[in-house]
Structure 1
Amino acid sequence: MLDDYGQVTCSPRKPRSCKIFKALFCCLREAQDAPKPLPFSQDALLEPEDNGDVVKPQLSSGPSLLPEMVPQDQGKICVVIDLDETLVHSSFKPISNADFIVPVEIEGTMHQVYVLKRPYVDEFLRRMGELFECILFTASLAKYADPVTDLLDQCGVFRARLFRESCVFHQGCYVKDLSLLGRELHKTLILDNSPASYTFHPENAVPVLSWFDDAEDVELLHLLPVFEDLSQAEDVYTKLGELRAP
C-alpha cells in the first residue's frame, strides 16, 4: 500500500464542526511520533542514503524548495497537501474499481499500481485551488507520484510538486520541513494524514484521517468549511489556535 465529478450530490452527513476538528487534532497529536507507513513497495523504493541519519534535501534550484509565488497567488496562504492516504490510496494488488492504473518501473521491471481517489477529492481540490496557493508534497518517489498527480489534478491546482528528495529524512521518517519552502510560516499550512510528516511544524498542521477504500468517507467534504475559514487568516497560528481551543 501507499503512504499521494461533475456536480457533487449533497452528503447525508453534516459538515465538520470546529469541535470535530479539535477532537481529530488532539487524537492525531498523541501519535505525532509514530512513523508514517512508507510508500507501496518501500523495500523496492528505498534510497541508499536511508540509513537512519538525518538527510536534508539539496536545494539545487535556489535558496528554497519553491519558486517565487505567482502574481495571482499573492496574499494567499500556502497549503502543502499530502498525496497517499490523504487524497488517494494505491496498491500493487489489483483493484477492480481503480480510478487510475499507473505503470511504475522498479529495478528494470514494470509494475502496475492501482489507484483509488478519495471521495470528494475533485471538489476539494477545485475549491482549495480557488482559496490557496496549493503545493503537492509527498514522501513518495516522483516516478510514481508525478503520473498519479497528472491524472488527479486535471485542473492544475498544484503550483508545484515536491517529492521524497525534498523531505528531511529524520529518525526513520520522511519529514516535510516547511521552513525550506521559501514561504512565511505564519502563512503556511500542511494537510497530511501522518503527524510524523509535520513533526517539525505541528502548529501549522490541519490533520486528516487516513483513507484507504471507504466509499462513504466524507472527510474532505467536511474539511472544506475549515479551510474556507483559514483562508481569511492573517496568521494561521492564531486561527488554528482558535479551532483547537477548548
Structure 2
Amino acid sequence: MDHSPSIITQVTREEEENATCREEGANEVSPSKKPRSRGLLHSLFCCLCHKETEPPPAKNNAPLLVEENGTLSKVPAKPLLPQMQSNDAGKICVVIDLDETLVHSSFKPVNNADFIIPVEIDGTVHQVYVLKRPHVDEFLKRMGELFECVLFTASLAKYADPVSDLLDKWGAFRSRLFRESCVFHKGNYVKDLSRLGRDLNKVIIIDNSPASYIFHPDNAVPVASWFDDMSDTELLDLIPFFERLSKVDDIYDILQQQRTSS
C-alpha cells in the first residue's frame, strides 16, 4: 500500500522520502529538500509532501500566481462558479477536497482498489488505483441534499474528473474546480474562496491540507489525511455537525465554536 501523502509528482519516489513525509504529518518537508526526479508524472497530481519552490509554467491552464504582497498577478474575468441553481438558493456552499479527504490514490497496484483510472501522460496510459475513504458514500449523499457542494482539488482534471464521475453517484457536486482554479502562493496551490462568486459567510471548505485554505482559515473544517485505514469514521462523524450547520445564516460563529471545543 502506498502511504505517500498524495499521488506523487514524479515516477520515482524513494522509500525514505515517503517515510519522512509520514513522520512529519504528511504536510511539511524542509524547503531545501527537492524531488530527485521530475519525470513524466510531474504536476499531474496535487502533492502535499514536496513543496514546489518555483512557480508552475505559464501555460496549460496554470493557476494564478500571487505576489509576495498578496496581490494577484492577473485578475480573473469572472467568478469561478456559475450562478447558483434555483433549487440551491439560500444554501451554504461547501467546497470539498478530493485526495486524502475523500479518496487515496496510488500508481502502485492495490488489490482492494475501488476504482482503477487510466490516465494518459505523454502518450502513455498509466493506471491509477483509487481507494474510497470509509463512509464517503453516505457523506456525499447527505451533503448533496443539504448544501451546494463543489469539488475543488489541486490535482489535474485528467485524473480528478474521472474519479469524481465514479465517486459521486448522486450528483452532489454542482461544480468541479481543478488545479487551474487555484492560486499558486509561496509554493502551494491555494483555494481562494473569494474567487468563487459566493458570500464568504456562506462558504465552507473541507480539506486535509491547511495550506489549501491559508487565505480563509476561518471558513475551514479540517479533516485528517486518509490513506488506507478502513476503520476511519471521520466522514460519518461529520454528518450530524453539517446537518446542524446547514440551518445557520452565518457560518463563522458555529465554526469558531467547533474550533474552540476541538
TM-score range, shorter chain: 0.7 to 0.9
Question: Alignment partner for residue 101 of structure 1, among 92, 116, 120?
Answer: 116
Change (3 A) 1:172 1:52: farther
Query: Could you tell me how far 1:45 is from its partner in structure 2?
Result: 3.0
Pairs within 5 Å for 1:136-215? 136-215=151-230
What is the deviation of 1:153?
A: 0.5
Q: Distance in 1 between matches of 2:220 and 2:120?
A: 33
Structure 1 residue 155 displacement after superposition: 1.1
Distance in 2 of aligned mates of 1:59 and 1:226: 36
Q: Percent identity at matched positions? A: 65
- What is the match of residue 103 of structure 2? 88
Q: Matches of 1:237 and 1:83 in 2, distance apart? A: 23
TM-score, with length taken from structure 1: 0.80
The amino acid across from 1:54 in the alignment is V
Alignment correspondent of 1:66: 81
- Tell me by how many angstroms 1:58 deviates: 7.5
Counterpart code for 1:48: P
The number of aligned residues is: 213
- 1:124 matched to 2:136? The reply is no
Aligned-pair Cα RMSD in Å: 2.6
Hey, what does 1:3 align to over in structure 2?
6
* Higher RCO structure (Cα 8 Å, ≥6 apart): 1
Rounded to whole Å, the distance in 1 between the matches of 2:84 and 2:73 is 21
Q: Name stretches of at least 5 consecutive residues in structure 2 with no aligned partner.
A: 8-24, 30-39, 46-55
Match of residue 12 from structure 2: none
Matched, 1:48 2:60: no
TM-score by length of 2: 0.75
Could you tell me how far apart the structure 2 residues matched to 1:169 and 1:215 are?
33
Whether the 8 Å contact between 1:65 and 1:182 is mirrored in structure 2 is yes
Answer whether contact 1:89 1:117 (CA < 8 A) is retained: yes
The alpha-carbon distance between structure 1 residues 118 and 59, as it changes in their structure 2 partners (threshold 3 A), is farther
The separation in 2 between residues aligned to 1:121 and 1:58, in whole angstroms, is 36
Q: SS of the residue aligned with 1:169?
A: strand
Q: Is the 8 A contact 2:182 2:190 kept in 1?
A: yes
Instruction: Give the gaps of 5 or more residues in structure 1.
Output: 5-30, 36-40
Shift in Å, 1:44:
5.1
